C-alpha cells in the first residue's frame, strides 16, 4: 500500500489517503505532472492509475477503484508517463514493454523481447522507445510501429538503466553492479 499524509505542518495529523489494491509489493509510484494522479507498478503484473484528487475530495479515506492496466504476465519493473500524460510505457519481466492509452487503458503497442525488460523510456519527441534487459542488451524501437531499430549488446549482466544524451546521438547504459 501507499499512504498519503499531510506533512505541511509540524505534526502529521493523520493519513489522508491509502492506495490499496495491488496484491503483491509495489515497485514504483510516480506522480503525474499535475500531481492529481499516481501511477504504480507492482509484482502483481499490473500498473494502476489512481485518481488522488477525486479520492481526497470525496473524503473517502481510500482511493476507490484505480484504473488497472493489465496484460503483462510477470512482475512490472518500471513505468513512465508520456509528456502529455496520454500514454503510459511499462516494462515487464515477462519480456515485454507495452504502451497504454492512459485514458482508456487500451493496450496500444507490445514490444516483445527475449529477456526480462527492466527499463523503458521514450526519447525527447516520443518517436522512439529505449529498453534495457536482464541479459545485457538495450534496444531502440519505433514507438508507432513497434519495429526494433537497433540492438546494443556487450554487457554480460542486466542493464538497469539506459538514457539518451541531449541530442540523442548516444546511449548510456548502466549495468547491474555488485559491491
Say what the pLDDT of residue 176 is.
Answer: 62
Q: What is the number of other CB atoms lying within 10 angstroms of the CB of residue 96? A: 21
Q: Is the pLDDT of residue 179 over 50?
A: no
Q: How many residues does the chain have?
A: 179
Say what the pLDDT of residue 178 is.
Answer: 47
* CB 78 within 8 Å of CB 27: yes
Q: What is the number of other CB atoms lying within 10 angstroms of the CB of residue 101? A: 13
Residue that wins the pLDDT comparison between 133 and 9: 133
Q: Is the pLDDT of residue 34 over 90?
A: no
Residue that wins the pLDDT comparison between 174 and 125: 125
Say what the pLDDT of residue 17 is.
Answer: 60
Q: Give mean pLDDT, residues 90-104.
A: 93
Choice among 52-66, 95-109, 135-149, 160-174 with the minimum mean pLDDT: 52-66
* CB 136 within 8 Å of CB 143: no
Q: Is the pLDDT of residue 127 over 90?
A: yes
Q: Is the pLDDT of residue 135 over 80?
A: yes
Question: Mean pLDDT in the chain?
Answer: 82
For 137, 142, 146, 165, the CA distances from 150, given in Å and listed in that order, are: 10, 10, 12, 16
Q: What is the number of other CB atoms lying within 10 angstroms of the CB of residue 65? A: 10
Tens digit of each residue's pLDDT (9 = 90 or more) over 150-161: 998 888 788 888
SS (H, E, C) 16-84: EEEECCCCCCEEEEEECCCCCEEEEEECCCEEEEEEHHHHHHHCCCECCCCEEEECCCCCEEEEEECCC
pTM (2 d.p.): 0.82
Amino acid at each position: 500500500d501507499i499512504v498519503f499524509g499531510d506533512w505541511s505542518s509540524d505534526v502529521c495529523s493523520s493519513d489522508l489517503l491509502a492506495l490499496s489494491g495491488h496484491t503483491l509489493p509495489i515497485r514504483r509510484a510516480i506522480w503525474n505532472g499535475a500531481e492529481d494522479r499516481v501511477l504504480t507498478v507492482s509484482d502483481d503484473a499490473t500498473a494502476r492509475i489512481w485518481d488522488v484528487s477525486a479520492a481526497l475530495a470525496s473524503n473517502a479515506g481510500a482511493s476507490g477503484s484505480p484504473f488497472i492496466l493489465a496484460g503483462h504476465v510477470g512482475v512490472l519493473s518500471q513505468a513512465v508517463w508520456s509528456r502529455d500524460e496520454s500514454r503510459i510505457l511499462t516494462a515487464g519481466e515477462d519480456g515485454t514493454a507495452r504502451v497504454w492509452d492512459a485514458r482508456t487503458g487500451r493496450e496500444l503497442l507490445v514490444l516483445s523481447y527475449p529477456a526480462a525488460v527492466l527499463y523503458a523510456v521514450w526519447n525527447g519527441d516520443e518517436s522512439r522507445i529505449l529498453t534495457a534487459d536482464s541479459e545485457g542488451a538495450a534496444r531502440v524501437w519505433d514507438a508507432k510501429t513497434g519495429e526494433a531499430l537497433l540492438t546494443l549488446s556487450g554487457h554480460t549482466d542486466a542493464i538497469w538503466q539506459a538514457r539518451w544524451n541531449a541530442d540523442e546521438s548516444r546511449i548510456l547504459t548502466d549495468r547491474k553492479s555488485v559491491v
